[in-house]
Structure 1
Amino acid sequence: MFENVRRVVTVIDDNGVSRFESDGAPPVSRRLQNAGANIDEVWRFDAVPGDITAPGDPEEFSFLSPANGLLVRRVEVPPDATRFRDETGASRIPEPHEGMHQTATIDILQILEGELWCLLDSGEETCLRAGDVIVQRGTVHAWRNRSDQVTRYLAIMVTAPLPHPIEHHANP
């Protein structure tokens, strides 16, 4: 169901020549059992501006982005029908605010494949399809895949202070 990610990283060697440093899967990948999603940590800066010579491989998975940095993720979200189940294992409709969360980041997401609904705590929602880009600026939101196909997207998350942090929708 989930697709392997190939990550190619370049480097400038000691002689000033550009080289390919690595070519393969990202070193940190996490399958979220409760949400059924798959997250690959593609790259990470612990501070912005980033240090071109610093390694960008995270050592372990974290939901949080670096305190003053940037995080690049590739995410796969299965259909809601497989993500949300009742105690018998039957598919169920998620609660309106289920999965609502807020991060102290500006997130730029591009849908690579499939479609994904963005729900806001105001009750507004929109459907994003392949090629669409959303800029999420610290808003309280949740994601829904109402289709019958896996959705894949790329997310770039840049740390930013929240003007109005929330506490009532703290479950990502």
Structure 2
Amino acid sequence: ERKIVGPALGVAHEGGVACRFSDLAPGASVPMHRTTSTDVIVLTSGQIVLILEDGSETLVDKAGDIVVQRGTMHAWRNPSKTEWSRILCVAVDAKPVVVEGAELKNEMRNE
């Protein structure tokens, strides 16, 4: 059974923008990851929890709430036991973030 319905993780085409909807089943999660794009995530229904690499969590629970991600390791989780959630992700191509002289790359962890 699929827990996440939507396209595979990806970034915007060079110089472009990609828009995608993703539906998360009750209790489903998206693994910790980073993209080189600037990502604007809009909650359209349900609830999601944003989890950052340091373990901090933020509940996003109002339709229309927006989260912007730029170079951070993060994950998503649907905290509901009964309701699906839907997010719209708008990924805008961007130059990679540089930390201590090193460019951060796209990364997906399977934890």
- Aligned residue type for 1:150: W
**TM-score, with normalisation over the residues of structure 1?**
0.52
The answer to which structure has the higher strand fraction is 2
The 5-angstrom pairing of residues 71-90 of structure 1 reads 71-80=18-27, 83=28
1:70 corresponds in structure 2 to: 17
- Between the two structures, name the one with larger relative contact order (CA 8 Å, sep ≥ 6): 2
Alignment pair present for 1:121 and 2:53: yes
* Structure 2: gaps (5+ residues): none
Match of 2:97 among 162, 167, 170: 162
Shift of 1:37: 1.2
What is the aligned-residue RMSD (CA, Å)? Answer: 2.5
C-alpha distance after superposition, 1:33-84 (max 9, x if no partner):
4xx21126xxxxxxxxxxxxxxxxxxxx77232122110111111112xx47
Runs of 4+ in structure 1 deviating by more than 3 angstroms, as ranges, are: none
**TM-score, with normalisation over the residues of structure 2?**
0.78
The alignment covers a number of residue pairs equal to 103
2:109 corresponds in structure 1 to: 171
CA distance in 1, matches of 2:69, 2:9: 19
Give % identity: 30
* Structure 1: gaps (5+ residues): 1-31, 41-60, 85-97
Alignment pair present for 1:131 and 2:64: yes
